[in-house]
Chains A and B, each alone.
Chain A
Amino acid sequence: MKCQNCEKPATFHITDLTGDELLALHLCPDCAKEYLKSDDDVEEAPTITGVLQQQLKLEQTAEDLKELDSRECPICGISFYEFRQSGRLGCPNDYACFAGELEPLLVNVHGDNVHVGKRPKRGSEDMEMQTETIRLRREMKEAVENEDYEKASQLRDRIRAIEGDS
């Protein structure tokens, strides 16, 4: 049997039920790929960057947005602009740092903003202590880049001291 769209042999046999009548299609692999593709584009789930863009457009003036974009997390140094471009946050503290913007986003995506599931059994709730280590790591890296090795080694000792406690 030949493909009904071209001269190649038909290897795909599709029964289309979308209309009122049964429609039998006989297609070669190439035409079948085209056919199935055109019919298969179930809408993509909204991406985080898309949802965010929509939300900011509604809520922010251009000036506000410019200011917001330049805001940086004091712990990891990521700017809001970087977050909204990539859709990825830089550290746990960003959830606190950008809380005002994240809350409507979370409600938008999840329909909720409060976790009700599992919790770690041991108290790792001391966020400040943990993010402190992240900040120290970043300062250490910067010290190394500035060739301030004395400062870098002091920072490394402080990180080790904190990690030793936990």
Chain B
Amino acid sequence: MLDSMASSCGEWLKGNGPDSDIVMSSRIRLARNLADYPFIKRCTDIDRASIESTVREKLKTGKEFKDQTFINVAELDNLDRQFLVERQLISRELADAEGARAVAIDGLERMSLMVNEEDHLRIQVMKSGFDLQAAWDQINQVDDRIEEQLNYAFHKDLGYLTACPTNVGTGMRVSVLVHLPALVITKHIEKVFRTFQRINLVVRGLYGEGSQAMGDFYQVSNQITLGKSEEELIKQVGDVVPVLINYERKARDFLISGENQHNLFDQVSRAYGTLQNAQQISSEETMYLLSQVRMGVNLGLIGDLEIPTINKLFIHTQPAHLQKLRRNELDTMERNIERANYLKQHLKSDLSDDAEMN
């Protein structure tokens, strides 16, 4: 299954939906724990194995889960685990953990259900573009179905109980993944994020906590989980998205106006040229350059390239994806050469056929 996934790019990089030039995807996750087991930290190996098998058995019976494939993460090799992290289907924490752990994912990669992460269950639903409501409708239903099968740890005053008190209450994290290259270039990004912090929003890089912003992708999410309803939390995050879109558009307008336009056009063209001609290239530089090219396409500065192609290249040039596509384990140096080849092959200006992609 993992091998066939590699050639596509999953829901969150599909690149359609409203305002998809700036908003990549919307995501909601719920943290849940079973009432009759200790939290992960105090689980024995037997407890962990028992949680995993209980969840797996119960999910088999629900028709909502018939499209879910249950993957035993403990049995995967490093490359496959890294691959799932790159696709945002599992967290780095789950990949690096030890003991029984699993993830259930559907063919369209819209839903993933991690077992034995920081909490017993981490349910996640992803939608392309800016569509938090659809994500909530789906995850709410999935949560209802699981609750019919399993007893959640729930407290009448504190809500859903979680291993870390920062998630207690709704156990919900609402995130929107945005592409903000112009705010980065104009150095406005920090100011915007400082403002967000004051209203209890968190901003992180693409691959979650502690990661640096890669390719100008940022995740904006709620910080608090207790004392506000799910709808209020969705609104809190949802309300700033139009503001962000507006800021980013203004910054793009600034970059493309008057004198600046030549600089931007030059910068974008050079980025494109480097990606087309490099003989070896790191994943960081690729992300950085692809980000500019993506903006260039959105602003009409590059004509012969489609956004879905760029989105695909973002994920396919990640280390584990590159190795899976080439069906070969490669060291850093080999990857940099392979990555350059891959980019060259897919950015030939006269060949933008989708058939060429796979």
Bound pair: A and B?
yes
Q: Which residues of A contact B (CB under 8 A)?
A: 11-18, 24, 29, 33, 37, 39-40, 42-43, 45, 48, 75-78, 86-92, 95-96, 102, 105-106, 109-122, 124-125, 127, 130-131, 133-134, 137-138, 141, 162-163, 166
- Hey, which chain B residues are within 8 Å of A125, CB to CB? 154, 156
Contacts A40-B213, A89-B41 given: A15-B170 contact, CB under 8 Å? no
Beta-carbon contact of A110 and B158 below 8 Å? no
- Hey, which chain A residues are within 8 Å of B36, CB to CB? 130, 133-134, 162-163, 166
The B interface, classified by DSSP as helix, strand, loop or mixed, is mixed
CA A124 – CA B44 in complex, angstroms?
A: 24
Beta-carbon contact of A16 and B212 below 8 Å? no
Could you say which of B12-20, B100-108, B145-153, B235-243 contacts chain A?
Answer: B145-153
Beta-carbon contact of B37 and A113 below 8 Å? no
CA A40 – CA B194 in complex, angstroms?
A: 11
CA A14 – CA B263 in complex, angstroms?
A: 10
Beta-carbon contact of B166 and A89 below 8 Å? no
User: Cβ of B42 < 8 Å from any Cβ of A?
Assistant: yes
Contacts A43-B197, A137-B47 given: A117-B228 contact, CB under 8 Å? yes
A91: which of B38, B186, B202 is its contact (CB, 8 Å)? B38
B166: which of A78, A109, A131 is its contact (CB, 8 Å)? A109
CA A120 – CA B159 in complex, angstroms?
A: 9
Q: Which residues of B contact A (CB under 8 A)?
A: 33, 35-42, 44, 46-47, 118, 140, 143-144, 147-148, 151-161, 163-166, 168-170, 172, 185-188, 190, 193-194, 197, 200, 202-203, 212-213, 223-230, 233, 255, 260, 263, 266-267, 270, 274, 282, 284-285, 288-289
Beta-carbon contact of A89 and B165 below 8 Å? yes
- Hey, which chain B residues are within 8 Å of A110, CB to CB? 168-169, 224-227
- Hey, which chain B residues are within 8 Å of A113, CB to CB? 157-158, 226-227
Beta-carbon contact of B41 and A86 below 8 Å? yes
Q: State the Cβ distance, B280 to closest chain A Cβ, in Å.
A: 12
- Hey, which chain A residues are within 8 Å of B270, CB to CB? 11, 13
A-B contacts, 24 listed (Cβ < 8 Å): A12-B288, A13-B270, A14-B185, A17-B186, A24-B263, A39-B187, A39-B190, A42-B194, A89-B39, A89-B41, A89-B164, A89-B165, A90-B41, A92-B39, A95-B168, A102-B165, A106-B226, A112-B228, A115-B160, A116-B227, A119-B154, A120-B152, A120-B154, A130-B151
Give the most central of B42, B203, B282, B288: most A CB within 10 Å: B42
Which of chain B's residues has its CB closest to A14's CB? B185
Beta-carbon contact of B224 and A88 below 8 Å? no
A42: which of B39, B197, B230, B266 is its contact (CB, 8 Å)? B197
Q: State the Cβ distance, B125 to closest chain A Cβ, in Å.
A: 15
- Hey, which chain B residues are within 8 Å of A86, CB to CB? 41
CA A68 – CA B193 in complex, angstroms?
A: 38
Beta-carbon contact of B158 and A95 below 8 Å? yes
CA A90 – CA B164 in complex, angstroms?
A: 9
CA A95 – CA B37 in complex, angstroms?
A: 14
- Hey, which chain A residues are within 8 Å of B47, CB to CB? 137
Contacts A110-B227, A117-B229 given: A92-B35 contact, CB under 8 Å? yes
CA A76 – CA B44 in complex, angstroms?
A: 11
- Hey, which chain B residues are within 8 Å of A118, CB to CB? 140, 143, 159, 170, 229-230
CA A86 – CA B334 in complex, angstroms?
A: 39
CA A102 – CA B226 in complex, angstroms?
A: 13
- Hey, which chain A residues are within 8 Å of B284, CB to CB? 29, 33
CA A87 – CA B39 in complex, angstroms?
A: 12
Beta-carbon contact of A112 and B165 below 8 Å? no
Which of chain A's residues has its CB closest to B233's CB? A117
Beta-carbon contact of B157 and A124 below 8 Å? no
Which of chain A's residues has its CB closest to B194's CB? A42
Q: State the Cβ distance, A52 to closest chain B Cβ, in Å.
A: 9
CA A124 – CA B154 in complex, angstroms?
A: 7
CA A113 – CA B167 in complex, angstroms?
A: 12
Which of chain A's residues has its CB closest to B40's CB? A88
Q: State the Cβ distance, B352 to closest chain A Cβ, in Å.
A: 24
Beta-carbon contact of A111 and B224 below 8 Å? yes
A115: which of B140, B158, B223, B260 is its contact (CB, 8 Å)? B158
CA A72 – CA B44 in complex, angstroms?
A: 18
- Hey, which chain B residues are within 8 Å of A18, CB to CB? 187
18 new A-B pairs (CB below 8 Å) besides A92-B35, A109-B224? A11-B285, A14-B185, A15-B263, A17-B188, A42-B194, A45-B197, A45-B202, A45-B223, A78-B42, A88-B39, A88-B164, A92-B161, A95-B158, A111-B200, A115-B160, A115-B227, A117-B159, A121-B144
